[in-house]
Structure 1
Amino acid sequence: MQPYVLVLSDEQSECLLNYLRDHRWHKDQVPYSLYAYHTPGVKVVVYHNQKLVVQGKDVEDFVLHTLETEITHKPLYGYDRVNHPEWFEAHAGLDESGKGDLFGPLVAATVIADGTAVDFWLSKGLKESKAIKSDERLFKMEALVREPKGVVIETAYANMERYNELYAKFGNLNQLLAWMHARALDTALQKSTVQKGLLDQFVKAHLVQKFLKRSDFTLQQRVRAEEDPVVAAASIIARATYVRKLRDLSKEAGINLPKGCGIDAQKALTTLGDTVGRDQLKRYAKMHFKTINEVLKS
């Protein structure tokens, strides 16, 4: 029986803990856990991020007759294929990373997978990259994405000087992003001939298909597309690739280049301009950001 994984709310976690205590489950000591208990057929572990992992031969019975009836009050177990049959059909998922980060590349990622891979990912608690708080956890999830056989993964990105040249050519970030998505998707489709894909809606117009070589491919766009596990997998690949490239760029710059575009990024930009010269900022930063003009004027 595969482990069952679910992220609980604080209230649900407290309710579960009280249930386990009241029903005299045996307490365990598990590293990094908030609490852990077991009976002869089930082991329950809740971690500090409220991630619940249920293991043992009686997982299904516990989830259906205790967890969902007494704690969460939501029938979720085994219903993914009923509620979301499209998740389990072979298709492409697309996502990107770096769009809102001052330093480092814009990365477009395509993942193509079928129901076997989705079943595996769901059993391991796959979640989209924005829900992952640490780089270490991100890289672990990336390894899980790559584990199932037959999964196709492709990325598209450019070094920062090339990125800035491309932005000047396209004159619009969404146009550039659509072109990069089309590059990654076209390459992936050379390895797997699926007929459809899903992308988070970043513009109303179907810009990606304008750049796509395959005319018989249907690309859907919708808000919160990352609820689809294949799109979530693409978001993890895109973010992990971005983080690695940003680390490489930091080594080249000789200073830590932070994610985002907040105060830390602005301070790093000023330091970098003083260190390498403002004419060299194009090697590290997205030159169309308003922050760039503010630093150059100062």
Structure 2
Amino acid sequence: MREIEPIVADILGKLAQCGIQVYEQVPLPYGLQLRLIFEDEKAVLNIYHSAKKGISLVIGGKTGTRIRSMLQEVVGGHVAQQALQTPESKHSWEDWIGSDESGKGDYFGPLVVCSFRANREVEKELWAMGVMDSKLLQDWQIRELAQKIYKEFPGCMNGIVLVPKTYNRIIEDMKKQGRNLNDLLAWQHFKVLEEMLSVGNAPDGVLVDQFTSRKTLSRLFLAKEIDVNLIERPRSENDAAVAAASILARFQYISAMAEMSRKFKIGFPLGASAKVDRVGREFVQKYGVERLGEVAKLHFKNTSRVLGE
């Protein structure tokens, strides 16, 4: 990638000055991985380019080593860039499940929840593969990484895609019971995780990217008397299993959006902006208001604007 060529050249020079050897350069879907060795220690340096975040530098390898300390000094010299270390787990689990969702804030398209089961060896493979929070990635990067995850780790994931028609029916029933979107999201996470927990040995824990402070998901597990070490934590995508789940969920979401666009011959935008309202009105003009629920989450405020209410 041309965007990272200058920084790669600069880093290669600094690595040579430090006595760190590059024994392999591995192309990533959106960057480059440098595999490094210093004496008997090894590490990796991933150099990414994202339209949203610019250039990011991610250090991987064992903590507390000389090579890692040296790399931190090399990376730290690029103060204009976003320099990151490989995220370190905030838990001590050896075997765990991460869960995340996509489509919650989007008027068009489904609500997707995916989960992924990892261990420490899989964690290393995910970081080396370039897995990170899906919000930092472009759609083509999501597709490439998701396909790799499905290929390399079969049986390690689960998910539920609620298409708009089903979503609208469930959320309408929940509203009648005084419940809301977070209750639906908790139920969806629960069903995905419940199925995963029913197979094989119990994991050490489950980490979910927190979507509400009400502990709704925890109460569902208690109600079903399912004993699980559950942590709901904001910004959990710095965990490898949650990051993988976020990529799979976004992949399923953008795939469903692409299929909707092909079916109705309309480009459906993301989010809930004024542009979304315009496309909603276009859809109603072409297909009628009675079919809006096939493509949109009707309880969003966008519906009133689309229908001019």
Q: What TM-score, normalized to structure 2?
A: 0.75
CA drift of 1:16 comes to 5.9
**CA distance in 2 between partners of 1:225 and 1:232 (Å):** 8
8 Å contact 1:160–1:284 — kept in the other structure? yes
Question: Residue 242 of structure 1: SS of its match in structure 2?
Answer: helix
2:205 corresponds to 1:196: yes
Counterpart pick for 1:209 among 218, 227, 241: 218
Corresponding residue for residue 54 of structure 1: 34
Alpha carbons of structure 1 residues 215 and 253: separation in structure 2 relative to 1, 3 Å:
same
8 Å contact 1:87–1:229 — kept in the other structure? no
**CA distance in 2 between partners of 1:19 and 1:190 (Å):** 48
Query: Residues 76-98 of structure 1: CA distance to partner in whole angstroms, max 9, x if unpaired?
Result: 88x86xx5373761111010000
Alignment of 1:98-137 (within 5 A): 98-133=103-138, 135-137=139-141
Alignment of 1:160-199 (within 5 A): 160-171=164-175, 172-192=180-200, 193-199=202-208
Structure 1 stretch displaced more, 156-165 or 99-108: 156-165
**CA distance in 1 between partners of 2:21 and 2:15 (Å):** 13
User: Which amino acid letter does the alignment assign opposite residue 54 of structure 1?
Assistant: L
Alignment of 1:1-298 (within 5 A): 17-18=9-10, 20=12, 41-43=22-24, 51-55=31-35, 60=42, 64=67, 67-72=71-76, 83-84=88-89, 86=91, 89-133=94-138, 135-149=139-153, 151-171=155-175, 172-192=180-200, 193-212=202-221, 213=224, 215-297=226-308
Corresponding residue for residue 30 of structure 1: none
8 Å contact 1:186–1:214 — kept in the other structure? no
CA drift of 1:146 comes to 2.4
Alpha carbons of structure 1 residues 296 and 122: separation in structure 2 relative to 1, 3 Å:
same
User: Which amino acid letter does the alignment assign opposite residue 189 of structure 1?
Assistant: L
Q: How many residues align?
A: 270
Q: What TM-score, normalized to structure 1?
A: 0.78
CA drift of 1:99 comes to 0.3
More strand by share: 2
Structure 1 regions of 5+ residues with no counterpart? 1-9, 26-38
Task: Work out the percentage of aligned pairs sharing the same amino acid.
Answer: 26
CA RMSD of aligned residues (A): 3.4
CA drift of 1:20 comes to 4.0
Structure 1 stretch displaced more, 149-158 or 260-269: 149-158
**CA distance in 2 between partners of 1:287 and 1:260 (Å):** 14
**CA distance in 1 between partners of 2:126 and 2:173 (Å):** 39
CA drift of 1:69 comes to 3.1
User: Which amino acid letter does the alignment assign opposite residue 295 of structure 2?
Assistant: Y
8 Å contact 1:42–1:62 — kept in the other structure? no
8 Å contact 1:88–1:118 — kept in the other structure? no
Query: Residues 43-67 of structure 1: CA distance to partner in whole angstroms, max 9, x if unpaired?
Result: 5689996x44213666837972753
Alpha carbons of structure 1 residues 257 and 87: separation in structure 2 relative to 1, 3 Å:
farther
8 Å contact 1:113–1:152 — kept in the other structure? yes
8 Å contact 2:168–2:293 — kept in the other structure? yes
Question: Residue 86 of structure 1: SS of its match in structure 2?
Answer: coil
